[in-house]
Amino acid sequence: MRALAATVGAVALVFCASVPAQDKDVTQREIERYRELLAEGNPADLAEAKGEELWKTKRGPKQASLERCDLGLGAGVVKGAYARLPRWFADTDRVQDLESRLVTCMVTLQGFTEDEAKKNPFSAPGRGSPIEDIATYVAGASKGMKFAPPLEHPKELEAFRTGEELFYRRAGPHDFSCATCHGDNGKRIRLQDLPKLTDPKEAQKVFTTWPAYRVSQGSVRTMQHRLYDCYWQMRHPQLDYVSEASIDLQVFMAKYASGGTVEAPGLKR
Amino acid sequence: MPDPMRIRANMAGDKVEVRVLMAHEMETGLRKDASGKPVPAHFIQNVSVDHDGKTVLSAQWGTSISKNPFLHFRFKGGKPGDKIKITWVDNKGETRSDEATIAAAS
Amino acid sequence: MDRREALKAGGGTGVIALALAAGILKPEDVFAADWNKAAFDTKSFADTVKALGGGGSSESDQILMTTPDIAENGAVVPVTVESRLPGTRRIAILIEKNPNTLSADFTLPEGTDPFVTTRVKMAETSNVYALVQSGGKFYHAAKEIKVTIGGCGG
Amino acid sequence: MRSAALFVACAALVAGCTTPPPENDARREAQAAFERSFTHGNKEMFARVVGQDDVQALCSRYRNRPPADVAERIQKSQAATIVYPADGKLMGDWRQGEKIAEDGFGLRFTDTNQPNRPNGGNCYACHQLAPHEVSYGTLGPSLYRFGRTRGSGEAIQRYVYGKVYNSEAFTACSGMPRFGLHQVLTPEQIRHVVALLLDPESPVNK
């Protein structure tokens, strides 16, 4: 009992006497200026243009383009489609995000196998990723529109509940969950602001900026990559591309982001 | 075949404002790939911008220009509807030229 | 016809591309001529000035640099240089602590503003110089840019 | 007195006191979805994340806000895991501690290609420490001048060593990794971190 009391005392000592952060405002102002200076030319435009070209290009065993792909608003409708994803699709009877839906179209329209379609999801230096460019193009075609995924079908609601559990699921050698970094307001990791993803104001600002050009990676990155990269940092094994968990988590976040404006493609650190 | 550039050229007062993004890896030659092998340098060395038969900007670049290079500058003497042509050449001899039409003030 | 003339005459790379395709020119021949290898190999501010043809350079408050004080990522650091020195026809960007100092050398003919924005890579926190040639002389301005560890670090 | 109060608190929260909140469909489905979503990676890494220990499971279920009795229980069980060095030496070299605090290497799936490189602690990701490092996070409290007000006596050394070893012993459902328990850092490395925080010569305390 005495040891416990000592412990409690020590904890109080640690957390009550923290020193205010030094020069925080100066550093943060400069980082904001850095981001403003970058904003006048977003290299994601290059991926967007390439993606539009690829959308219209006949590819795969069936030598077909993606121009008949149904992204939720009917075959071939690109404009506004991203603002209504993720959603449940009758033909697959699954909730799908943009990238998972692109895989479906590459399989059904172009004749790729599912493995082929999922093989090269993220570009690397010297190796482009068509699906990354196409996702950037499709997302960009909803730019300025209100983000309003339906989130009413029973499978969408189920995906939300699963996503919520996954968001708080702590595991691995570091005990991390998504909520470790994205569960509170006003936090940052190193100099990077961390949005509280269950706060609509913050979720609306960030969720709709993906895909985004990441200067640290020299490439456009999609939401699938964002999640893959988070799990990498969380000391988990690699998250499967367009896996259930990746989509359920997006449904969970999309609910809080609803009502925001699509600002894709973004530009980030 | 290298990917196309994205060129924006528009009037700002009596000047033409040009912003261009080029798709290029800009490898320094110092980076190693996943297997530890050095990746050879591959970067744009020369850029030129032409308008009406005249070069309005030329540049020599080294390996420390960022990947997917961005360039912004202004010149006098252009008008809406005129074409500008931008060309780059890299150290492996690859080259790309793209044209853009000057737009009215945005 | 040297390469620069070829570029002008062809209004692009058409002529060179043809010459390359025909095997008349090897890539090295074409590019070596117009790319100042000696300058791009230099490893200090003074050596770069020399390699670009200057006997030295004096500091000038008529050269304005717009850069962040802190770059969130060294791979992409935006740099704007604007010169108020009369007759500015050349702007170069130098990064002191990079493996090679010279980053870019712009030629700006009459009619083009003495102004340029580009983005450079920085290996570490360093002084960045804007070097300007005006009336046959070289002038410079300098600014220290801090490169930080961004994101989750490590 | 304290035990009596605890007992009352427990009684008031019977469900939460002795057993975790019951399983439900969403959690079962989430576990199943999780297991179907990490199928292509490193098998050993998967084995480390597919299950949860008590702390991870409870903190997940309570969304990191456990009721007082559960928090008490977590802290007690975790305090028992802390192993202090047998030689009693708790302070190492702050210079090495600084390197560990800057380094985020280790245990990510791409880190396996450098098997001989020690893990880092990446303290700066979440804490302010030495003032020269402006790139610090705020997920945890600022530790700038931590040792100035607390000195570097044995009690505070034991506290810091223990906190780095197993943070859950002090604050249940803390976001801080249990660096010692999970062998992310070696006892030697933890000593260096203790020195970084407490050594009067450390830049943290300048």
Inform me whether the C-beta atom of residue B83 falls under 8 Å from chain C C-beta atoms: no
What SS3 state is found at C152?
A: coil
Banded pLDDT at C148 (limits 50, 70, 90): confident
Q: Are residues C134 and C104 in the same domain?
A: yes
In angstroms, rounded to a whole number, what is the distance separating the alpha carbons of residues A72 and A149? 10
What percent of chain C clears pLDDT 70, i.e. is strictly above it? 75
> Any idea where the domains of chain D sit in the sequence?
2-72, 94-205
CB B87 within 8 A of CB B101: no
Domain that holds residue C66: 37-147
Beta carbon pairs, A and C, within 8 Å? 55
Q: Is residue C14 over pLDDT 50? A: no
**Confidence band, pLDDT 50/70/90 cuts, at residue D22:** low
Write down the pLDDT at residue D4. Answer: 41
Is residue A174 within 8 angstroms of chain C, CB to CB?
no
Two tokens, residue A169: 């699921």
- Domain covering A41-268 in this structure, CATH number: 1.10.760.10
pLDDT for D24 beyond 90: no
The ipTM value here is 0.86
C-alpha D61/C-alpha B90 separation (Å) is 56
Structure tokens at D199: 């050594």
CA B75 to chain centre: 15
Say if residues C145 and C120 touch (Cβ distance below 8 Å): no
Q: Which residues pair with B99 in a beta bridge?
A: B85
CA-to-CA distance for C75 and C69, rounded, in angstroms? Answer: 15
CB < 8 Å to C150, chain D: 135
User: Cβ of D67: how many Cβ atoms within 10 Å?
Assistant: 17
pLDDT in tens, A199-239: 999 999 999 999 999 988 999 999 999 999 999 999 999 99
- Of A60, A175, A196, A46, nearest to A123 by C-alpha is A46
Cis preceding linkage at D22, omega within 30 = no
| C111: helix, strand or coil | coil
Asked if A34 reaches chain B (Cβ–Cβ under 8 Å), the answer is no
Q: Which chains touch D (3+ CB pairs under 8 A)?
A: A, C
User: Is A233 in contact with C78 (Cβ distance < 8 A)?
Assistant: no
Say what the pLDDT of residue D5 is: 41
Residue D20 has pLDDT above 70, yes or no: no
The band of A28, judged by pLDDT with boundaries at 50, 70 and 90, is confident
Residues of D in contact with A162 (CB under 8 A): 26, 29-30, 33
In angstroms and rounded to an integer, the radius of gyration of the C-alpha atoms of chain A is 21
Contact residues, chain A, for C70 at CB < 8 Å: 27, 30-31, 34
Residues C22 and C93 in one domain: no
Alpha carbons D85 and D97: distance in angstroms, whole number: 17
A105's tokens: 């179209």
A27, A215, A236: which to substitute to probe chain C, counting the most C Cβ within 10 Å? A215
- Do residue C47 and residue C22 come from a single domain? no
Q: In this complex, is the C-beta atom of C153 within 8 Å of any C-beta atom belonging to chain D?
A: yes
Ranges under pLDDT 70 in chain B: none
pLDDT value of residue B36: 85
Identified catalytic residue from A69, A105, A181, A230 = A230
Q: What is the pLDDT of residues A114-166, one digit of tens each?
A: 999 999 999 998 899 999 999 999 999 999 999 999 999 999 999 999 999 99
- Phi and psi for D27 in degrees, rounded to 5? -70, -40
Q: In b/e form, how buried is each residue of D8-38, taking b as 16+ CB within 10 angstroms?
A: eebeeeeebbeeeeeeeebbebbbebbeebb
Task: Assign 3-class secondary structure to chain A.
Answer: CHHHHHHHHHHHHHHHCCCCCCCHHHHHHHHHHHHHHHCCCCCHHHHHHHHHHHHHCCECCCCECCCCCECCCCECCCCCCHHHCCEEECCCCEEECHHHHHHHHHHHCCCCCHHHHHCCCCCECCECCHHHHHHHHHHHCCCCCECCCCCCCHHHHHHHHHHHHHHHCCECCCCECHHHHHCCCCEEECCEEECCCCCHHHHHHHHHHCCEEECCCCEEECHHHHHHHHHHHCCCCCCCCCCHHHHHHHHHHHHHHCCCECCCCEEEC
C-D Cβ pairs (cutoff 8 Å, strict)? 24
Inter-chain CB proximity C154 and D135 less than 8 Å = no
Calculate the average pLDDT of chain A.
91
Mean pLDDT of A57-75: 98
User: Which of B48, B70, B97 is closest, CB to CB, to C118?
Assistant: B70
pLDDT band at residue D21 using 50, 70 and 90 as cut-offs: low
What percentage of residues in chain D have a pLDDT greater than 70?
89
Tokens of D20: 């975790």
HSE, CB side, 13 Å, CA atoms: give it for residue A246: 25
Q: Is C149 on the interface with D (CB under 8 A)?
A: yes
D170 touches chain A (CB under 8 A): yes
Q: Could you give the domains of chain B? A: 6-101 (2.60.40.10)
Where are the extended beta strands (E) located within chain C?
58-59, 63-66, 70-71, 77-83, 88-95, 102-107, 115-120, 126-134, 137-147
Nearest to B21 among A45, A126, A218 (CB): A45
Closest chain D residue to the Cα of A16, Cα to Cα: D141
The answer to whether position C152 is within a domain reads no
How far, rounded to the nearest angstrom, does the alpha carbon of residue A194 sit from its chain's CA centroid?
14
Whether residues C14 and C52 fall in one domain? no
Secondary structure element (H or E) that encloses residue C49, with its range:
helix C45-51
Give residue-wise pLDDT tens across range C50-93: 999 999 999 999 999 999 999 888 999 999 999 999 999 999 99
A85-117 core/surface letters (b: 16 or more CB in 10 A; e: else):
bbbbbeeeebbbbbbbbbbbbbbbbbebeeeeb
Tokens describing residue B51: 């308008």
pLDDT score of A125: 87
Could A238 and D38 be called an inter-chain contact, meaning their C-beta atoms sit closer than 8 Å? yes
A46/B contact by beta carbon, under 8 A: yes
Does A40 contact chain B (CB < 8 Å)? yes
pLDDT, tens only, D53-104: 999 999 999 999 999 999 999 999 999 999 999 999 999 999 999 999 999 9
Alpha-carbon gap, residue A127 to A120, rounded angstroms? 9
Task: Give the count of beta carbons closer than 10 Å to the beta carbon of residue D131.
Answer: 15
Q: What is the pLDDT of residue A40?
A: 87
Residue A88 has pLDDT above 90, yes or no: yes
DSSP secondary structure string for all residues of chain B: -PPPPEEEEEEETTEEEEEEE-----B-S--B-TTSPBPPPB-EEEEEEEETTEEEEEEEE-TTBPSS-EEEEEEES--TT-EEEEEEEETTS-EEEEEEEPBPP-
| Nearest Cα residue to B44 out of B71, B29, B63 | B63
Same domain? For C14 and C73 the reply is no
Q: Which CATH architecture has domain D94-205?
A: Orthogonal Bundle (1.10)
Structure tokens at B72: 């912004």
Q: Which pLDDT band, with edges at 50, 70 and 90, does A1 fall under?
A: very low
Provide the 8-state DSSP code for D117: S
Do C8 and C66 lie in one domain? The reply is: no
| Secondary structure class of D42 (helix, strand, coil) | coil
What CATH number is given to the structural domain containing C135?
2.60.40.2470
Does C94 lie in the same domain as C133?
Answer: yes
- What pLDDT does residue A2 have? 41
What would the two tokens of residue A155 be?
């499978």
Please give the span between the terminal C-alpha atoms of chain A, in angstroms, as a whole number. Answer: 49
Say what the alpha-carbon torsion angle A7, A10, A14, A17 is, to the nearest 10 degrees.
140
Residue-wise over A189-217: b if at least 16 C-beta within 10 A, else e? bbbbebbbbbeeebbbbbbbbbbbbbbeb
Cis ω before A265 (30° cut-off from 0):
yes
Predicted pLDDT at A261? 98
- 8 A C-beta contact, residue A206 and residue A195: yes
Q: Which of A30, A37, A190 sits opposite C150 (nearest CB)?
A: A190
Query: Does B27 contact A at CB distance below 8 Å?
Result: yes
Query: Is A34 in contact with C72 (Cβ distance < 8 A)?
Result: yes
Domain ranges within chain A, ordered by starting residue: 41-268
Among B45, B62, B75, select the one facing C113 at the smallest CB separation: B75
Whole-angstrom Cα distance, residue A26 to residue B22? 33
What confidence tens digit (pLDDT) does each residue in C87-145 have?
A: 999 999 999 999 999 999 999 999 999 999 999 999 999 999 999 999 889 999 999 99
Residue of chain D whose Cα is closest to the Cα of A15: D141
Q: How far is C46 from chain B (nearest CA, A)?
A: 17
Regarding whether C23 and C47 lie in a shared domain, the answer is no
- Model confidence at A5: pLDDT above 70: no
pLDDT computed for residue C11 by the predictor: 37
Do residue C152 and residue A189 have CB atoms under 8 angstroms apart? Answer: yes
Active site residue A69: no
For residue C151, pLDDT over 80 is answered with: no
Number of folded domains that form chain C: 2
Q: Cα separations (Å) of D57 from A216, D29, D61, D197? A: 34, 15, 6, 31
Exposure letters C95-128 (e unless 16+ CB within 10 A, then b): bbebebbbbbbbbbeeebbbbbbbbbbbeeebeb
Please name the residues in contact with A187: beta carbons below 8 A apart, sequence gap of 6 or more.
A181, A193, A194, A196, D137, D138, D139
Of the pLDDT bands very low, low, confident and very high (cuts 50, 70, 90), residue C153 is low
Query: Which tokens go with A246?
Result: 């990746």
Q: CB of C144 within 8 Å of any CB in chain A?
A: no
Q: By CA distance, what is A191's nearest residue in D?
A: D135
Instruction: Flag whether residue B68 sits within 8 Å of chain A, measured between CB atoms.
Output: yes
Q: What is the DSSP letter of D135?
A: -
Bridge partners, B85 (sequence order):
B50, B99
- Residue in A30, A216, A218 nearest the CB of C151: A216
Count of helix runs (H) and strand runs (E) in chain C: 5, 9
Across the interface, of A40, A41, A218, the residue whose CB is closest to B67 is A218
φ, ψ of residue B22 in degrees (nearest 5): -115, 140
Q: Are residues C20 and C74 in the same domain?
A: no
Residue C43 sits in the same domain as residue C20: no
A123 to chain B, closest Cα gap in Å: 12
Q: What is the mean pLDDT of residues D106-121?
A: 94
